[in-house]
A and B are shown apart, each in its own frame.
Chain A
């Protein structure tokens, strides 16, 4: 009876999680969705506390208090620009928790039961593998995003990884054949940990949005595997929801970057054929302008679209940009933001940064929605973005970014590019947009450029 009630409570929690994620389909309902999820979690934890096996509470209370303290401090202190690092860490913690729970369940089952079912050992091995890869991979992703580690590429890394995976699988098989061999589980965790490190170390900084999304998916799958270990449907349902979510985001990121998942995972960059040198593209054609001239251009505009890139986040320019937008709107100019899916360091990152600067979400337009409107746009202001507005993706089939979906800003009447220099973006290629006839460069960092434009507009 008690067990049935507990399982019903888990079912209620799972339903609340689904409704919670459903709430995320609109900004209006998202806050409520998040709270539904939190209530679901509370119900699930209370149900777990009522489990017959739970006889002591001191370690549970100590762990929850410690974890809640650390989690709250992290969540309150983190800067919005650092959100990718935060999510990477949280992914990792979820993964390692699954690994530890599966390990504990193995020891418990061996102590209590005579025979161990096949499902149990297979799921335990899966949970150990995915959880450990998620944890160490996430720590590397965190270190890279935080600027603590660079890209390390070793020749033969793929062979090394294949060997590690084979070894990990061998330990898993051993565990399945002889469930009493707990050493095999911990050996599996060790090799999977090394695998997590060596999988993410070679992946470049530009590919981090894909990696975080994928690790997000893994953290869900680890929870689902643990659900199979414990025969707990709440874990299975929740884990597979998160697994699906991460896979969808991974796919979106890969498409937006024009990268195949295999290339990202193996750190492969397709070398560009005959990429034009920057001299050929830029020589004598780039027009630098002063903020005063640009203010005149903006004054005469009816519709302005702003394209923010990661450069805007780096120089914390979002508030200066917001002030510029308000000033334009005061003058009756219609202003919208065009947001490329990989504009930040993780899916949707740029939207959060703009929301932080009080830009209403209706003003943030996604790529497919805004692309047809550039022809009717008087001025586009590109702030700290590069590859995502490079027309070569459309025009040159030999370019390394050929086929990558871009914002067609070159179709607008005039383009203002705020950028510190003509240095290339992650793709490492020059951008003909900067040399286009209708483009004017404002050489400044994003924040100073936006402030200069605003002051010039005020004076005009």
Chain B
């Protein structure tokens, strides 16, 4: 129960931080914002890695492995495509 309260506190505070920062992102960068925030939502990879490496049962290994694949596509694809887009934004010279 104590743990839950701590987790909820973190959750609620993080949402406020999110709202504060993200409302300041200009519309020009909304697509990279989406692909970039998408990449970091692949943080589930952390849980996937632990499941795939824990060797509890064949089932958890398979589930963990599949989760690692999907989450890594999410993470790597997201960061690479965001980098590609942001590299195109240039100032007037």
Within the assembled complex, what's the spacing in Å between the Cα atoms of A21 and B19?
A: 11
Residue of A66, A78, A105, A243 touching B47 (CB-CB under 8 A): A105
Tell me which residues from 35 to 93 in chain B have a Cβ below 8 Å from any Cβ of chain A.
35-57, 59-61, 63-93
Residue of B11, B24, B68, B74 touching A64 (CB-CB under 8 A): B68
The range of chain B's interface size is: 35 or more
| Cβ-defined contact, B37 with A241, below 8 A | yes
| Cβ-defined contact, A234 with B46, below 8 A | yes
Which residues of A lie under 8 Å from residue B14 when comparing CB positions? Answer: 236-237, 240-241, 244
CB within 8 Å for A105 and B51 given contacts A72-B80, A112-B56, A355-B90: yes
- Chain A's interface: helix, strand, loop or mixed, by majority? helix
Within the assembled complex, what's the spacing in Å between the Cα atoms of A245 and B38?
A: 10
Which residues of B lie under 8 Å from residue A265 when comparing CB positions? Answer: none
Which residues of B lie under 8 Å from residue A223 when comparing CB positions? Answer: 41-44
Within the assembled complex, what's the spacing in Å between the Cα atoms of A366 and B26?
A: 9
Interface presence of A231 (CB below 8 A): yes
Interface presence of A93 (CB below 8 A): yes
Shortest Cβ distance from residue B54 to the other chain A in the assembled complex, whole angstroms: 4
| Cβ-defined contact, A18 with B21, below 8 A | yes
Which residue, A97, A219, A232, A352, has most C-beta atoms of chain B within 10 A? A97
| Cβ-defined contact, B34 with A17, below 8 A | no
Beta-carbon nearest neighbor of A241 in chain B: B18
Within the assembled complex, what's the spacing in Å between the Cα atoms of A248 and B30?
A: 11
Which residues of A lie under 8 Å from residue B32 when comparing CB positions? Answer: 24, 30, 34, 348, 352
Within the assembled complex, what's the spacing in Å between the Cα atoms of A101 and B64?
A: 6
Within the assembled complex, what's the spacing in Å between the Cα atoms of A247 and B68?
A: 26
Beta-carbon nearest neighbor of A14 in chain B: B14
Within the assembled complex, what's the spacing in Å between the Cα atoms of A226 and B25?
A: 27
Which residues of A lie under 8 Å from residue B69 when comparing CB positions? Answer: 63, 66-67, 70
Q: Contacting chain B: which of A144-152, A268-276, A339-347?
A: A339-347
CB within 8 Å for A97 and B76 given contacts A31-B87, A107-B56, A348-B28: no
Q: Contacting chain B: which of A51-59, A413-421, A443-451?
A: A51-59
Which residue, B18, B41, B80, has most C-beta atoms of chain A within 10 A? B41
Within the assembled complex, what's the spacing in Å between the Cα atoms of A351 and B90?
A: 11
Which residues of A lie under 8 Å from residue B67 when comparing CB positions? Answer: 63, 96-97, 100-101, 104
Shortest Cβ distance from residue A405 to the other chain B in the assembled complex, whole angstroms: 13
| Cβ-defined contact, A24 with B25, below 8 A | yes
| Cβ-defined contact, B70 with A346, below 8 A | no
Within the assembled complex, what's the spacing in Å between the Cα atoms of A60 and B3?
A: 29
| Cβ-defined contact, A55 with B54, below 8 A | yes
| Cβ-defined contact, B91 with A20, below 8 A | no
| Cβ-defined contact, B38 with A97, below 8 A | no
| Cβ-defined contact, A100 with B53, below 8 A | no
Shortest Cβ distance from residue B21 to the other chain A in the assembled complex, whole angstroms: 5
Interface presence of A238 (CB below 8 A): yes
Shortest Cβ distance from residue B4 to the other chain A in the assembled complex, whole angstroms: 5
Which residues of A lie under 8 Å from residue B85 when comparing CB positions? Answer: 80, 83, 352, 355
Shortest Cβ distance from residue A356 to the other chain B in the assembled complex, whole angstroms: 5
| Cβ-defined contact, B81 with A86, below 8 A | yes
Within the assembled complex, what's the spacing in Å between the Cα atoms of A229 and B50?
A: 13
Beta-carbon nearest neighbor of B60 in chain A: A104
Within the assembled complex, what's the spacing in Å between the Cα atoms of A75 and B15?
A: 28
Interface presence of A74 (CB below 8 A): yes
Within the assembled complex, what's the spacing in Å between the Cα atoms of A87 and B93?
A: 31
Which residues of A lie under 8 Å from residue B40 when comparing CB positions? Answer: 17, 20-21, 37, 40-41, 238, 241-242
| Cβ-defined contact, A27 with B29, below 8 A | yes
Which residues of A lie under 8 Å from residue B52 when comparing CB positions? Answer: 59-60, 63
Shortest Cβ distance from residue A44 to the other chain B in the assembled complex, whole angstroms: 5
CB within 8 Å for A31 and B35 given contacts A41-B45, A41-B75, A244-B18: no
Within the assembled complex, what's the spacing in Å between the Cα atoms of A362 and B89?
A: 10
Within the assembled complex, what's the spacing in Å between the Cα atoms of A27 and B82?
A: 12
Shortest Cβ distance from residue A258 to the other chain B in the assembled complex, whole angstroms: 17
Residue of A220, A347, A362 touching B92 (CB-CB under 8 A): A362
Interface presence of A91 (CB below 8 A): yes
List the 3 closest A-B pairs by CB distance, nearest first.
Answer: A67-B72, A348-B30, A244-B18
- 21 A–B pairs (Cβ distance < 8 Å), ordered by A: A21-B40, A25-B24, A27-B86, A48-B47, A51-B53, A59-B53, A60-B64, A71-B75, A74-B77, A90-B78, A93-B77, A101-B67, A101-B71, A107-B57, A216-B37, A216-B41, A237-B11, A238-B40, A240-B18, A245-B33, A358-B88
Residues of B within 8 A of A (CB): 1, 3-4, 7, 10-12, 14-15, 17-19, 21-57, 59-61, 63-93
